[in-house]
Structure 1
């Protein structure tokens, strides 16, 4: 009778460790650990549309209630690695509905944050390029598609929006948000 070799699951364990490590890094940079890999589609979009408004406060504001949006700003994304417009001004306390339109042929995203948060998150995305998120300050938009995000700007200051798909941020796909008193 032949002896069977023990099957070791080290590759699976390493993958789990990497996923858990990535989630811990996300938490360390102030992002909740609601990380999902390759989590897109109409069911996901419908869930996001029906989700309740989060009261979680960030340095750059909090999720806005769509019923309280005072204006709509369209943000175009292009394969030239640019946003249009590249700069917007809003007032402190204003709730804005962003319609994020991908005019290109590759995946793009709009992530709102401080420059330090965006840089740190961009580095994490380089290590885990398939990682996607389901945060209210992010919109992942496929080629030729649109998405919406509603944000309540609770603090005056200078914030940014960027595409953190690996290589896009580095190529200059960054916009500026000036929040005035």
Structure 2
């Protein structure tokens, strides 16, 4: 599967859970470890509305994993599609495919408060519970 090309311009499309961020705006990096036990550690993170965060996914397993941000409904729908078309290539700013022993980054601007999700949508991984949640706290007024 292709990795996101860091030199290509990122298509910024507003999603329910935010928009692709600029690396220069990152003030915080959160490392999420992935393993073949089909879990993310930590499985819950908190950010504040307006934060641009680097989500660094470290694959400590022996198989390919990925991290995809979204709503629970969108992730479930995408996971079903991945089961039907396991070779389907997808590469968006809100996802990172990480080979064993490697790491991948997502730079994301959380511009809407709420509760959102992340998951590994590789067939079988999502179904085994490889999911997590993101709470975006409202901006301090």
TM-score, scaled to structure 1: 0.74
Alignment equivalent of 2:112, drawn from 155, 163, 175: 155
- Unaligned stretches of 5+ in structure 2? none
Bigger share in strand:
2
Alignment equivalent of 1:71, drawn from 28, 38, 44: 28
What is residue 102 of structure 2 aligned with on the other side? 145
Deviates more, 1:104-113 or 1:128-137: 128-137
* Counterpart-to-counterpart distance in 2, 1:53 and 1:121: 21
Runs ≥4 in structure 1, deviation > 6 angstroms?
none
What is residue 100 of structure 1 aligned with on the other side? 57
* Counterpart-to-counterpart distance in 1, 2:28 and 2:130: 24
* Counterpart-to-counterpart distance in 2, 1:107 and 1:55: 26
- TM-align CA RMSD: 1.0
Bigger share in helix:
1
TM-score, scaled to structure 2: 0.94
Question: CA contact under 8 A between 1:54 and 1:62: conserved in structure 2?
Answer: no
